[in-house]
Amino acid sequence: MCISERFRQRFREQMSSSKVIKRRNWATKQWVVAALPCVLLLLGVGLAQTVVIASANVPFDFWAQGRKFPAGDYVFDSGFPGSISIRDKASKLSIAIAAVPYGDPVKKESAKLLFVRRDGKYYLTELWGVLGKRVVTAEFEHRGEKNNEQREVQLVYP
Mean pLDDT of the chain: 78
pLDDT 10s digits, 38-95:
555 555 544 445 678 899 999 999 998 888 899 999 999 887 778 888 998 887 778 8
The answer to pTM > 0.75 is: no
Calculate ∠ Cα 128-110-56, nearest 5°. Answer: 70
For residue 107, give every residue at least 6 positions away whose Cβ sits within 8 Å of its Cβ, in sequence order, or none: 130
